[in-house]
Amino acid sequence: MATLQDIRRKIGGVKKTQQITKAMNMVAAAKLRGAQIRMENFRPYAGKFLEVINNLSSRIDPEAFPLMAQRPVKKVELISLTADRGLCGSFNVNLINTGEKFIKARKQEQVETTLVPVGKKGAEYYKRRKYDVRSRYTDIFNSFDMVTAAGIGRDVIENFLAGGSDEVHILYGEFINMGVQRPKVLRLLPIAPLTQKGEEEQGLEYLYEPSVEGIFNDLLPRYINVQIYRGMLENAASEQAARMTAMDNATRNCKELITSLSLIYNKARQSAITKELMDIVGGAEALKK
């Protein structure tokens, strides 16, 4: 049976843990506000960019542009986003499990899969399990911008154009709300034109200046960079929301554990006092005899 000193030591350790989880919850809440603002401000831009690409690409020949050309799929590349740090509940696990399901599904289709992990947790996981990791990006979520996304985009585009992959997908945690963050897989390459046009769009005509080729050769790589950056923003906000929830639950569990240990401590203390009183009374009775 644990002594009073052991129980006091456990209570002290749990209180220190509670202070840490509470502080991490506050830090995550502060970071979440900034990440959420960046994400929400960028969403309309990314959505409008996608709309423009769809509207314009539906009126051209996709085969004329390498980033839109469809070809038999023998190799697929997955940009897998995770967090650089843990202590965010099941956030990283859900993303990694989704990535493994993606790889297994392609394997059943006799398609090779290469990985580009973005985030330390995913990079370490895939490396330990000997997956085909072509390149990796770690320790970037503390400070990243469009330049970071453009570097990743340039890497996957060059590999796609060189024939290293026939499709490129990105996996990230989509921010739904504070309590829900879902893994999402989005195809980046080849860029698929819009197949269905509304009645209003069918009557529109576009004038291209200086030329269709010049515009699309500039817009298509930008589109890849925009989608990667949006995925990074969504992933960063989802990570902080998941960490905030996890630390809030941990703080609540610490409070319950402290209450439980305090009850055990009080019962053990009362038992010790009762035992001491019984010894005193027994000694006094013995002296009377």
Work out the mean pLDDT of the chain and round it to a whole number: 88
Q: Classify the C-alpha dihedral 219-224-225-226 as positive or negative.
A: positive
Cα radius of gyration rounded to whole Å, the chain: 29
Average pLDDT for residues 229-250, to the nearest whole number?
Answer: 95
Helix 91-108 and helix 120-128: axis angle, to 10°?
50
> 116 pLDDT band (50/70/90 cuts)?
very high
Q: Is 254 an active-site residue?
A: no
Catalytic residue among 88, 96, 168, 191: 88
Tell me which H or E stretch contains 228. helix 212-288
Which pTM was predicted?
0.86
In the chain, what percentage of residues exceed pLDDT 70? 93
pLDDT greater at residue 100 or residue 276: 100
* 110, two tokens: 């006799």
In this prediction, residue 279 carries a pLDDT of 75
Average pLDDT for residues 35-55, to the nearest whole number?
Answer: 88
Q: Are 233 and 38 in contact (CB under 8 A)?
A: yes
Of 176, 207, 182, nearest to 56 (Cα)?
Answer: 207
Per-residue pLDDT reduced to its tens digit, 16-42: 999 999 999 999 999 999 999 999 999
* C-alpha span between 185 and 80 (Å, rounded): 9
Average pLDDT for residues 142-161, to the nearest whole number?
Answer: 93
Amino acid at 251: T
Per-residue pLDDT reduced to its tens digit, 190-204: 887 665 444 445 556
Domains observed in the chain:
42-195+206-245 (3.40.1380.10)
> 104 pLDDT band (50/70/90 cuts)?
very high
Q: Are β-strands 167-177 and 112-118 bridged in parallel, bridged antiparallel, or unpaired? A: unpaired
Sequence-distant contacts of 45-49: CB under 8 A, at least 24 apart: 45/226, 46/226, 46/227, 46/229, 46/230, 49/222, 49/223, 49/226
